[in-house]
Amino acid sequence: MKQCAPIIIIPNFVVFEGGDGSGTSTQLAMIQHRFDTSAKTANAPLPVLYTTFEPTHGPVGHLLRSALRGDHPLGQDTLALLFAADRNEHVYATGGILDRCGRGELVISDRYVLSSLVYQGIACGGDLPEGLNAHFPAPEVLFFFDIDPEIARKRMETRQVKEIYEYLDFQIKVREAYKALLPRYGDQGVRVEIIDASQPPEAVAETVWRGLEKMPIMAVGGTDGSRDAAGRSEV
């Protein structure tokens, strides 16, 4: 994310980041459940929540998931290119991140640009993922779920399918890379929240909720779409 110009931040956009086994997917599901439950009981309206993830369920995302499982081995440079292509659709397609945030929805994504800078940065070197992702807009808030890779490994022992990056030596590098890259976001206006992901899921969820409550969209229950998000860019 070495950029000449300041990054563009998308209001109402939140990203969950962390190594494998850090619990990002669990927390995404818990936030969705809390919104669904609170919508029935809250006195003040909540914004519309849209939860999503990368790789996406789009055609490029399906190919990526297959490659990550090892079904169709691809070169690391190819994976970096595919992640960027999948992200371009994720952000800019009709009904994508930019569209939804611009009309006043709260969008939370499990993984985004930083995952590519970390994972593909380790696997194929930093130059290619840095270049491919330099112009994607950034989230308003970034939650980093920090966990000792050894604890995460134990969590993943019951998984039936192990992905190509889910081994301890690689995950140790992943944690180090995240910590090295996070300051870039804070320095450019993204609110970065570092969470101890070794806590029980319920405790982590409460910390995430408190972080979300600080967002302007949570105070007003959504917007009318008048807050401009960001301009389009191409991969």
For residues 47 and 216, what is the distance between their CA atoms, to the nearest angstrom?
10
Cβ atoms of residues 14 and 101 within 8 Å: no
Q: Model pTM greater than 0.75?
A: yes
**Residues 188-204 pLDDT 10s:** 999 999 999 999 999 99
Q: Which residues pair with 145 in a beta bridge?
A: 18, 195
Q: Please state the CATH superfamily assignment of the domain spanning residues 9-220 in this structure.
A: P-loop containing nucleotide triphosphate hydrolases (3.40.50.300)
Question: Residue 59 is inside which H or E element, if any?
Answer: helix 59-68
For residues 150 and 47, what is the distance between their CA atoms, to the nearest angstrom?
37
Structure-block tokens of residue 183: 């300051």
**Residues 143-199 pLDDT 10s:** 999 999 999 999 888 777 788 998 999 999 999 999 999 999 999 999 999 999 999
Could you tell me the residue ranges of all domains in the chain? 9-220
Residue from 146, 141, 148 nearest 195 by CA? 146
For residues 23 and 189, what is the distance between their CA atoms, to the nearest angstrom?
25
Cβ atoms of residues 82 and 63 within 8 Å: yes
